[in-house]
Amino acid sequence: MMRLERLRGDHADALLAFERENRAYFARFVPDRGDAYFTDFAARHRALLAEQDAGVCHFHVVLAGAGGGDGELVGRVNLVDAAAGSAELGYRIGMRAAGRGLATAAVAEVCRLAAGPYGLSSLSAVADVDNPASRAVLTRSGFTETGRTTAGARPAVTYTRRLTPDP
């Protein structure tokens, strides 16, 4: 069972623990956030919430757990730089929850939100060439490969998806 929640102030402690626990795992596929990210996490979290309040970004946490309780924070899905009907999608699922379809479910839900309440008409995304799982999530989620780029110093693939609101 997966639930997506819009980022709130009270997610800070669980989100910091999630990022610390998965730091090395994520660094295999995306540039490391650096020590300052963790040292200055409280200020960073407040800045993200301010960006969200301004409508520039839409940040979410992914909660999962049996029984439909509060759930454990196992990932995040974000839409950043929302402007002119488009935004960039980014997501990460922690190591202990990987391989269970949570990324695909979370991306599907955020695409629904993007096309509906967020009023977006297209999304872009970037995935490391050496991250076949992330690339598969994007393909299964209706994204089309559009080219090559770099993420940090790593070769990456670019994707886009047109959105249509549910009737």
Residue 100 maps to which CATH number?
3.40.630.30
What is the domain extent for residue 101? 2-162
In a domain, 29, yes or no: yes
In a domain, 119, yes or no: yes
The distance in angstroms from the start CA to the end CA of the chain is 25
Mean pLDDT of 73-88: 97
Residue 25 has pLDDT above 90, yes or no: yes
Q: Residues 7, 128: contact at Cβ < 8 Å?
A: no
pLDDT-derived band at 68, boundaries 50, 70, 90: very low
**Under 8 Å CB-to-CB from 61, ≥6 apart: which residues?**
4, 5, 7, 11, 14, 15, 73, 75, 76
**Cα–Cα distances in angstroms (integers) from residue 118 to residues 2, 8, 108, 111, 121, in the given order:** 21, 17, 14, 10, 9
Q: What is the pTM of this model?
A: 0.93
In a domain, 41, yes or no: yes
Pairing of strands 122-128, 86-93: parallel
In a domain, 167, yes or no: no
